[in-house]
A = this chain, B = another copy of it.
Amino acid sequence: MSSKGSVVLAYSGGLDTSRYVIAYLAGIGQKKDFEEARKKDISREFVEFIWPAIQSSTLYEDCYLLGTSLTRSCIDCKQVEILQREGAKYVSHGATGKRNDQVRFELTCYSLAPQIKVVAPWRMPEFYNWFKGRNDLMEYAKQRGTPIPVTPKNPWRMDENLVPIIMPPHLYTKTQDPAKAPNTHDIVEIEFKKGVPVKVTNVKDGPPTRPPWSSSCAKRSCGQAQQQLHWRKVPAGIILYHAHLDIKTFTMDWEMHKTKQGLGLKFAELIYTGCWHSSECEFVCPCLAKSQEQAEGKVQVPVLKGQVYILGRESPLSLYNEELVSMNVQGDYEPIDDTGFIINSLRLKEYHHLQSKVTNR
């Protein structure tokens, strides 16, 4: 069968896409391939998408770990790969016309497969005049007997990974209510090389289960937070974020940190707005990686009732010279070196000197 005119559907299996399965996916007969491709590849590739986010230590709008945005970028890339392979002319997705997911998805398509046409039902009058919103769609699915994973009273979608889960605090799949979590802590030890985690060990509970935070997160109800006004659950994300921050502070010069900070903010913006495949993102990622060459070592992270602490860290590359900062030992640094050390002080003196003259004129 020729696939020249076929449509590939970006399919989450949630409400907006439950409806299309028969009409669209059946037509191209590749549901099985698609499913298998996803199972085999995506979870490993997803990790590759997460590394730069961890290396950048950046929170979008100071609060959002970017989990969902990264998930989308990863899924979208795989999707476009499939549609290129299938020689599809059209691609369709169920993202609504008001949100960022459509932007992310379509920018990926336009970047990687510029010849493709995007079909977005939620932006087509014949569709959105028929279904005024998700409630209409649920009603329609119910009438047709199409099984859907949500109901009007329980409309929350949950991705099946440990990075980003949006839901209200009373819903828990990967973690649990902190108040019900045991009152003892686990200790997770994370080892970093070049700013990415290479090994995770559950220090306290004996031999590591794999991945060790899976059980720790669940038991200790770690990782829930309000991010951008939504409850999100990022059990592994929040542990990695704090552990990386700690090893970075331990090994990276503070001016170096400030220098790369702007790139981190840019990276967050690029991911959030779906510009993964832009020239600027292809520039930012290796720069962020380069900034992490010293970020090596182990961090111990106790997890207790939803809270993540740092117990300690060690690194062969630490800039933290115990002798230098000690108040008990004289190092090769002689205090007299600092006498009036500040060229800055001259600058400030002059500024205030002038201010006083100006004020008095």
CB distance from A97 to the nearest CB of B (A): 3
A257, B106: Cβ atoms closer than 8 Å:
no
User: Nearest chain-B residue to A97 (Cβ)?
Assistant: B335
A166-205 interface bits toward B, Cβ cutoff 8 Å, 1 = contact, 0 = none = 0001000000001100011100000000000000000000
User: Nearest chain-B residue to A260 (Cβ)?
Assistant: B283
For A84, the chain B residues whose CB sits under 8 A away are: none
For A317, the chain B residues whose CB sits under 8 A away are: 354, 358
Q: Does A146 contact B (CB under 8 A)?
A: no
Q: Which of A234-260 contact B (CB under 8 A)?
A: 242, 245-246, 249-250, 252-260
B128, A310: Cβ atoms closer than 8 Å:
no
For A341, the chain B residues whose CB sits under 8 A away are: 103, 338, 340-343
Q: What are 12 A-B pairs with beta-carbon distances under 8 A?
A: A62-B261, A98-B325, A107-B345, A132-B329, A226-B242, A229-B246, A252-B279, A259-B280, A262-B263, A319-B350, A333-B346, A337-B340
Q: Does A361 contact B (CB under 8 A)?
A: yes
Q: Which of A124-182 contact B (CB under 8 A)?
A: 124-125, 128, 132-135, 169, 178-179
A338, B306: Cβ atoms closer than 8 Å:
no
Q: Does A47 contact B (CB under 8 A)?
A: no
What is the bound-complex CA distance between A313 and B291, given in angstroms? 35
> Can you tell how many copies of this chain the complex includes?
4
> Which among A178, A280, A309, A352 has the highest number of chain B CB atoms within 10 Å?
A280
A229, B253: Cβ atoms closer than 8 Å:
no
What is the bound-complex CA distance between A349 and B254, given in angstroms? 14
Of the candidates B228, B263, B316, the one whose C-beta lies within 8 Å of that of A361 is B316
Of the candidates B134, B304, B349, the one whose C-beta lies within 8 Å of that of A306 is B304
Stretch in A3-11, A30-38, A108-116 with 4+ CB within 8 Å of B: A108-116
A114, B336: Cβ atoms closer than 8 Å:
no
> Which among A99, A128, A354 has the highest number of chain B CB atoms within 10 Å?
A354
Q: Does A50 contact B (CB under 8 A)?
A: no
CB distance from A102 to the nearest CB of B (A): 7
CB distance from A244 to the nearest CB of B (A): 10
* Residues of A bordering B, CB below 8 Å: 57, 61-63, 96-99, 102-103, 106-107, 110-112, 114, 118, 120, 122-125, 128, 132-135, 169, 178-179, 183-185, 224-226, 228-229, 242, 245-246, 249-250, 252-263, 265-266, 269, 273, 275, 277-280, 283-284, 286-287, 290-291, 294, 304-307, 309-310, 313, 316-321, 324-330, 333, 335-354, 358, 361
What is the bound-complex CA distance between A128 and B317, given in angstroms? 30
What is the bound-complex CA distance between A103 and B324, given in angstroms? 16
A103, B342: Cβ atoms closer than 8 Å:
yes
What is the bound-complex CA distance between A361 and B246, given in angstroms? 24
B228, A256: Cβ atoms closer than 8 Å:
no
User: Nearest chain-B residue to A351 (Cβ)?
Assistant: B279
For A353, the chain B residues whose CB sits under 8 A away are: 114
B343, A307: Cβ atoms closer than 8 Å:
no
CB distance from A277 to the nearest CB of B (A): 6
